Structure 1
Amino acid sequence: MGELYVCSVLVTGANRGIGLGIVRQFLGLPNPPKWVFAACRDPKGQRAQELQNLASKHPNLVIIPLEVTDPASIKAASARVGEHLGGAGLNLLINNAGTAKAKSLDNETLENMSQTYTTNTTGPLLLSQAFLPLLKKAAQESPGSALSCSKAAIINVSSAAGSIEEVYLWDYGQVISYRCSKAALNMLTKCQSLGYREHGILCVALHPGWVQTDMGSSGSQKPPVTVDESVRGMLEVFSSLSEKETGTFLDWEGKVVPW
């Protein structure tokens, strides 16, 4: 794996699954970030216990309360992160928080479509808007003009389930709202890559694989990829991302996923 030098990273949905795995592996790097911001809805709750344990051992880990569907919560989170950074920028925003409900084409509902879209698509949009000043600051502070995760980047954790060409695992589960929200997230990523390139910010949609998490393991089959395998792969991808990858849809092994 190429060396990944990131001074500061924010991960949403960081209390379990892939988000928690990303936090763990960043903390375990030979050159860990100066700041790892782990955002979740209820930092003091039982579901954040592992995160709390990590924070007690790692002074560079800061747990941030965040509800990605609430603009006021997002604004408060960006203010808290800005305070900790003390005038420095944020190198890496990983929009990982997501939701999925196993609804078919016949029983999908307005309420579920709205809730899923708000979390999986609108949340990353609002987060990126709120943290844009800190990302721009990081890009300005970074030497050179080449885009990279060490400079400033937005990683939107997407899914091959949102690939219109592949329609990944259709026979396993239709999950209509999830698929539609991730397809929309992919378009958002493309738009961000075009809008934020001038600010020196790299934007990529990343499929973490079919991973053994609470969400991924909700059906009858066991997913083939462990959290550790997925996150190790993703960090390797982070280390290799450059100008030519901005606006692309990749998987945890760095392969291009069709739109």
Structure 2
Amino acid sequence: MAGLWLCSLMVTGANQGIGLGLVRQFLGLPNPPEWVFAACRDPKGQRAQELQNLASRHPNLVIIPLEVTDLTSIKVAAARVGEQVGGSGLNILINNAGIAKLNLLDTEMLEDMSQIYITNTVGPLLLSQAFLPLLKTAAQGSPGSALSCSKAALINMSSYGGSISSPCSWDLMQVVSYCCSKAALNMLTKCQSLGYREHGILCTALHPGWVQTDVGGSPPMTVDTSVQGMMKVLSSLSEKDTGTFLDW
């Protein structure tokens, strides 16, 4: 990915699935970032074993404890990252952490919808607020005014299931709360692009495809295929892409 020149980035939900795949890809770049921050709820748990193994081989990988629905946890994570990057800031924040539950339209429940909305939509909002100073610092330290991931970017992992104009996932899986949360995330991304443009921060929502993960089930697409496709998109993002919802 010759178009990506980063000092630092952070990925949430990085202990498995797409998040872990992204961490691997960034670490494997010809010119890897000085710091890769991998955030997850339980860094010492069994589900984070692969991430721990990666960290043992890559001194530039820092595992950050993070619960995306807890404001205190978010603030502690932002402070930890800030201490590590110093005055260089954070080039990319990838809001990847998310959950889904299979509830039909007639069986959707208040508790499930609230939990999914808070995790998938409110969490990215709170994270962007906490990490905004670090993203602004990175943007200010980057030469030129053009928006790009090498300057500063906020990437929200969305889903085609959140597309109102093309609800193609309805016949496959009626995950109502998940689809609603991703539609809201797409709107949040648009709002962030308008509010953060003046600070030099690119904001984009990405659809990773229907991928083999704990959330996605067992479709034909592998995590590696999805992540490699998204990495190509990230390396080519520019001013015209801020505020958009992209399917790689």
User: Shorter-normalised TM-score: what interval?
Assistant: over 0.9
Q: Where in structure 2 are there 5+ consecutive unaligned residues? A: none
Q: Give 1:4 deviation, angstroms.
A: 1.2
Q: Give 1:245 deviation, angstroms.
A: 0.4
Q: 2:71 matched to 1:75?
A: no
Aligned with 2:168: secondary structure?
A: coil
Hey, what does 2:28 align to over in structure 1? 28
Hey, what does 2:12 align to over in structure 1? 12
Q: Deviations along 1:79-126, whole A, 9 cap, x unmatched? A: 000011122210000000000000000000000110000000000000
Q: 2:223 matched to 1:250?
A: no
Q: 2:94 matched to 1:98?
A: no
Q: Deviations along 1:165-203, whole A, 9 cap, x unmatched? A: 111221111101000000000000000000000000000
Hey, what does 1:178 align to over in structure 2? 178
Q: 2:85 matched to 1:85?
A: yes
Over the matched positions of the two proteins, sequence identity in percent amounts to 78
Q: 2:224 matched to 1:228?
A: yes
Hey, what does 1:59 align to over in structure 2? 59
Hey, what does 1:130 align to over in structure 2? 130
Q: Deviations along 1:7-64, whole A, 9 cap, x unmatched? A: 1010000000000000000000000000000000000010100000000000000000
Does the aligned pair in 2 maintain the 1:186–1:205 contact within 8 Å?
yes
Instruction: Give, in whole Å, the separation in 2 of the partners of 1:168 and 1:6.
Output: 35
Instruction: Give, in whole Å, the separation in 1 of the partners of 2:178 and 2:2.
Output: 33
Hey, what does 1:149 align to over in structure 2? 149
Aligned with 1:23: secondary structure?
A: helix
Aligned with 2:4: secondary structure?
A: coil
Does the aligned pair in 2 maintain the 1:2–1:240 contact within 8 Å?
no
Q: Deviations along 1:218-253, whole A, 9 cap, x unmatched? A: xxxx413110010011111000000000000001x2
Instruction: Give, in whole Å, the separation in 2 of the partners of 1:51 and 1:29.
Output: 17
Structure having the higher helix fraction is 2
Instruction: Give, in whole Å, the separation in 1 of the partners of 2:86 and 2:205.
Output: 29
Q: Give 1:2 deviation, angstroms.
A: 4.1
Normalising by structure 1, we get a TM-score of 0.95
Q: Give 1:214 deviation, angstroms.
A: 1.4
Instruction: Give, in whole Å, the separation in 2 of the partners of 1:36 and 1:63.
Output: 8
Runs of 4 or more consecutive aligned structure 1 residues displaced over 4 Å after TM superposition: none
Instruction: Give, in whole Å, the separation in 2 of the partners of 1:128 and 1:69.
Output: 13
Hey, what does 1:169 align to over in structure 2? 169
Aligned alpha-carbon RMSD (Å): 0.7
Normalising by structure 2, we get a TM-score of 0.99
